[in-house]
């Protein structure tokens, strides 16, 4: 497994520049309310990725190398499409490749917002490494079952992430225009929609969890672990928008460090403490899985509190000014 993982990562990381180009370009289009073309790029890339995977894995028997190559090629296609769209755009977002250069002041402003947000995402991954190490102790069936359940968490999180992007985009636009009532309305709408969609989607996964688990495995033990993970996590997945949407709203207002610091504490620090205290005293796969909903409650409560405190202070001061 390790050798295959290393091979896949080497191929995947070689395509990281293309992922960055697509993400940055798609963000520019979304900033003007255009979410259609970034979606088209992903659909084309996704279909291409699936086709290449089938050809390289099934026909040419290339295994994980074929999957990695498919991912890189699909990312090249999506990034090329997004660059083409930007070059053909009108000002002010038209891309002039020959005029690309670094603007120091703008770079510093972007780093102040982007670095804390990036560190927050890294912290999630860092904490999950230790959780995965603890999970591995329960054997291959637990690892396989957990991986099966995790796929449905990804699907639910992608929906939350979509509302995140909308929240940050429209909050920053209206905050810059000093339309604070609209900022509040954006927060209410995206939070409500994110929670509602998450509850509906996760409810469907749980209601028919036998079917969804059966897509990945027919082994009873693997299915058991997948079921436990889905019940423990998806039942409380609606808590994630409490810190994701509130955090995105704060970033749209220019406060990126606050949600990042809270998330570091609520995810990395707390989850590591849980692994080396609670999991040492109370053994069991279920105990390990409980770290997620508990950390969501803590992180969500702190980020929400910070949002309302900062919002009151900033909006009142700017209104008074």
User: Residue 244: which of 163, 153, 127 has the closest Cα?
Assistant: 163
User: What integer pLDDT is reported at residue 213 of this predicted model?
Assistant: 96
User: What integer pLDDT is reported at residue 193 of this predicted model?
Assistant: 97
Residue 53 and residue 68 in one domain: yes
Count of domains in the chain?
A: 2
Range of the domain at 285: 105-321
| HEC letters along the chain | CHHHHHHHHHHHHHCHHHHHHHHHHHHHHHHCCCCHHHHHHHHHHHHHHHHHHHHHHHHCCCHHHHHHHHHHHHHHHHHHHHHHHHHHCCCCCCCCHHHCCCCHHHHHHHHHHHHHHHHHHHHHHHHHHHHHHHHHCCCHHHHHHHHHHHHHHHHHHHHHHHHHHHHHHHHHHHHHCCCHHHHHHHHHHHHHHHHHHHHHHHHHHHHCHHHHHHCCCCCHHHHHHHHHHHHHHHCCHHHHHHHHHHHHHHHHCCCCHHHHHHHHHHHHHHHHHHHHCHHHHCCCHHHHHCHHHHHHHHHHHHHHHHHHHHHHHHHHHHHHC
Residue 155 and residue 236 in one domain: yes
- pLDDT < 70 stretches in the chain: 319-321
In 10 A of CB 214, how many CB atoms?
A: 13
Q: Are 211 and 131 spatial neighbours (Cβ–Cβ below 8 Å)?
A: no
User: What integer pLDDT is reported at residue 33 of this predicted model?
Assistant: 82
User: What integer pLDDT is reported at residue 319 of this predicted model?
Assistant: 63
Residue 1 and residue 61 in one domain: yes
User: What integer pLDDT is reported at residue 116 of this predicted model?
Assistant: 83
Q: Are 186 and 167 spatial neighbours (Cβ–Cβ below 8 Å)?
A: yes
Residue 96 and residue 113 in one domain: no
Residue 297 and residue 256 in one domain: yes
CA distance 147 to 319: 49
Residue 149 and residue 193 in one domain: yes
Query: Virtual CA dihedral for 306, 308, 312, 314, nearest 10 degrees?
Result: 50
User: What integer pLDDT is reported at residue 121 of this predicted model?
Assistant: 76
CA distance 84 to 68: 25
Q: Which of 71, 101, 131 is the last residue of a domain?
A: 101
User: What integer pLDDT is reported at residue 160 of this predicted model?
Assistant: 95
Residue 50 and residue 1 in one domain: yes
Residue 42 and residue 157 in one domain: no
User: What integer pLDDT is reported at residue 208 of this predicted model?
Assistant: 96
User: What integer pLDDT is reported at residue 124 of this predicted model?
Assistant: 75
Residue 112 and residue 96 in one domain: no
Q: Which of 84, 101, 118 is the last residue of a domain?
A: 101
Distance of alpha carbon 252 from its chain centroid, rounded? 17
Residue 55 and residue 116 in one domain: no
Residue 203 and residue 96 in one domain: no
Query: Model-level pTM?
Result: 0.80
Helices 180-207 and 240-252, packing angle to 10 deg: 150
Q: Are 242 and 162 spatial neighbours (Cβ–Cβ below 8 Å)?
A: no
Q: Which of 101, 125, 160 is the last residue of a domain?
A: 101
Residue 51 and residue 193 in one domain: no
């Amino acid at each position: 497994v390790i050798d295959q993982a290393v091979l896949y990562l080497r191929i995947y990381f070689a395509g990281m520049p293309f992922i960055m180009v697509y993400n940055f370009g798609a963000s520019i289009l979304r900033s003007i309310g255009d979410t259609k073309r970034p979606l088209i790029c992903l659909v084309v890339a996704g279909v291409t990725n699936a086709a290449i995977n089938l050809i390289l894995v099934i026909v040419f028997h290339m295994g994980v190398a074929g999957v990695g190559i498919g991912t890189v090629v699909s990312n090249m296609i999506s990034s090329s499409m997004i660059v083409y769209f930007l070059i053909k755009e009108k000002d002010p977002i038209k891309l002039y490749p020959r005029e690309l250069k670094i603007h120091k002041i703008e770079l510093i402003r972007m780093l102040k917002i982007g670095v804390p947000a990036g560190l927050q995402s890294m912290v999630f991954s860092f904490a999950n490494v230790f959780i995965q190490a603890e999970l591995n102790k329960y054997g291959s069936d637990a690892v396989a079952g957990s991986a099966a359940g995790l796929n449905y968490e990804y699907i639910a999180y992608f929906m939350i992430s979509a509302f995140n992007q909308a929240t940050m985009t429209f909050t920053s636009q209206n905050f810059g225009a000093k339309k604070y009532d609209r900022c509040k309305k954006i927060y209410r709408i995206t939070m409500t929609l994110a929670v509602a969609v998450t509850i509906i989607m996760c409810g469907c996964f749980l209601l028919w969890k036998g079917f969804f688990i059966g897509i990945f495995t027919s082994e009873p033990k693997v299915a058991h672990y997948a079921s436990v993970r889905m019940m423990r996590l998806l039942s409380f997945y609606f808590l994630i928008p409490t810190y994701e949407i509130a955090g995105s709203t704060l970033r749209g207002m220019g406060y990126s460090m606050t949600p990042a610091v809270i998330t570091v504490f609520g995810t990395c620090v707390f989850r590591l403490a849980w692994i080396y205290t609670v999991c040492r005293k109370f053994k069991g796969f279920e105990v390990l899985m409980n770290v997620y909903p508990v950390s969501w409650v803590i992180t969500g409560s702190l980020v929400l509190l910070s949002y309302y405190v900062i919002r009151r202070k900033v909006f009142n001061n700017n209104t008074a000014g």
